[in-house]
Amino acid sequence: MPRLPLDNIRVLDLTRVLAGPFGSQVLADMGADVIKIERPIVGDDARIFGEPYLRDADGNRTRENAFYMSVNRNKRSVTVNIADSKGQALIRELVKQCDVVMENYKVGDLQRYGLDYEGLKAVNPRIIYCSVTGYGQDGPLAQKPGYDAVFQGECGLMSVTGVAEGQPGAGPMKVGPSIVDLFTGLNVANAILGALYYRDANGGEGQYIDVALLDCGISALSHYAQIYLTSGEVPVRRGTQGNGGMPTSKFQCSDGAIMITSGNDKQYNLLCDLVGHPELAADPRFHTNVERVKNRDEITKVFDAIFATNTMGYWLEKLGAAGIPSGPINDLEQVFAYPQAVHRGMRARAPHPLKPDLDVIRSPLNFTTTPITEYRAPPILGEHTAEVLRDELGLDDAAIEALRADNVI
C-alpha cells in the first residue's frame, strides 16, 4: 500500500499567492510530489506580502513570511525563469514526468512561451492542466485582474456579511481570511482529483480544467444564492444571526460573548427550560421554528437579556450538558489552546532550516490506512532547484551551474 493517498502523483505548480498554492498544498499533504516553480531572486509574490516574517537564530528577519508559509508546506521549490527559452525547455522536460500542471497567469499569458495547455499537451498527452484565474478563460471580464477582496464584493459575499441595515456599524463587510481564494483552492484540488480518477481509473485521458475565483465565490454562497434563485428575494445582512434554526446568534454574557444555534424545535424547548423560561416555548411568536425565523429580531432580544444575567462559563456548561450547540468566540491564541483543537493536533511540527521547531497548521484530512503524519516545512526559495534538475532531469553540476550563470535558474 502507498504511504499516502497521492504517492506517485507529481504536480508541476506554477501558481502564486494563495488560491492555486492552497490547492496544490492540499495535494501535497496527501502525498503528491509538488514541484513549485518560482521566479529566480524574486520568488512567489506572497514572499513580499509583509510581516510577520520568520526570524533566524539571531533574531534577524528572513524572507519566509507567514502568508507564504501558510500554503506551501510539503512542496519543493525550484527557481526557473520561464521568460527564457532555456527555462521553457526545463519546464517542458519536467512536464514529461508530471501528472498535473497548475498555473494562475492571466488568460493567454503562457501561450507566448509555449507553456499553455496545447503546448504542454504536445509534450505529455496525459497531462492534466489546471488554470486558475479571476474570471475564467472567456467572457467580458476574462482579462480583468482581481484579488480576493474584490471577489468577495463581486460574488455577493459582502452583501450578506456584516451588521444588519439600520444598526450601528451597518454595511457590507469583508470576511477576515481570503475566503474566496480558499474556496477556489479546495475546488482546484477536487477538480484535479476528479480528472486524475477519470484518467487513471476510468480509462480516460488528460484534460484542461478552467477554475475561476468569481465562479467559486458564487458557488460558495450556497443556500444564500439558492434563496434568491428560489424566491427572487435578495438575502440581507443579519450580523451574527443564523439563517435557519432560531435563535442562532452571538449572545453577550456578563463577561464575554458566546455563539448558540438552536437548530430545531426540540433544541428550542430544551433551551427554554435551561434558561428558566419554559413559557417561551409556548409563546405564539416562537412556538415553531417558522415563527421564530419570522420573529428573529424579537427572539434575539429576549435571549440577549437572559444571557446577560450570568457568565460565559456558567451558560456554556449548562448548554453543553443539555446538548445545545454552543461555544465561545475564540481568538487564534485561544483556538490553539482549545482542548478539542489540541486533542486533534491542529498544531503540527514542520522543522525548518531557519527554525527547527516551526509549527504549521495540520491538514484536516484524516485517513485510516494512509494517514498524514509528517509535514515538510514550506521551502526556502529555490531550495530544491539543484536536487530536482539533477535527480529528475539528469543534469550534472556543470550544467546546473551554467544555467545559474545564465540567470535561467
Question: What pLDDT, on a 0 to 100 scale, did the predictor assign at position 290?
Answer: 93
Architecture of domain 10-220+346-405: 3-Layer(aba) Sandwich (3.40)
Q: Is 181 a catalytic residue?
A: yes
pLDDT tens digits, 330-341: 999 999 999 999
Q: At what angle do helices 213-220 and 222-231 cross, to 10 degrees?
A: 80
DSSP 264: S
The alpha helices in 96-177, defined as continuous H runs, are 117-121, 148-154
Question: What pLDDT, on a 0 to 100 scale, did the predictor assign at position 139?
Answer: 97
Contact 275/322 with Cβ under 8 angstroms?
no
pLDDT in tens, the chain (409 residues): 458 999 999 999 999 999 999 999 999 999 999 999 999 999 999 998 888 999 887 888 888 999 999 999 999 999 999 999 999 999 999 999 999 999 999 999 999 999 999 999 999 999 999 999 999 999 999 999 999 999 999 999 999 999 999 889 999 999 999 999 999 999 999 999 999 999 999 999 999 999 999 999 999 999 999 999 999 999 999 999 988 889 999 999 999 999 999 989 999 999 999 999 999 999 999 999 999 999 999 999 999 999 999 999 999 999 999 999 999 999 999 999 999 999 999 999 999 999 888 999 999 999 999 999 999 999 999 999 999 999 999 999 999 999 999 999 9
Q: What is the CATH number of domain 248-330?
A: 3.30.1540.10
Q: How far from 9 is each of 72, 100, 127, 210, 345, CA to CA, in Å?
A: 17, 8, 11, 20, 27
Where in the chain are the domains?
Answer: 10-220+346-405, 248-330
pLDDT tens digits, 21-62: 999 999 999 999 999 999 999 999 999 888 899 988 788 888
CA distance 228 to 29: 37
389 contacts: CB under 8 Å, gap ≥ 6: 78, 90, 395, 399, 400, 403, 409
The active-site residue, picked from 44, 99, 116, 181, is: 181
Cell of 28: 501535497
Q: What is the pTM of this model?
A: 0.94
Indicate the pairing of strand 208-212 with strand 347-349.
Answer: unpaired
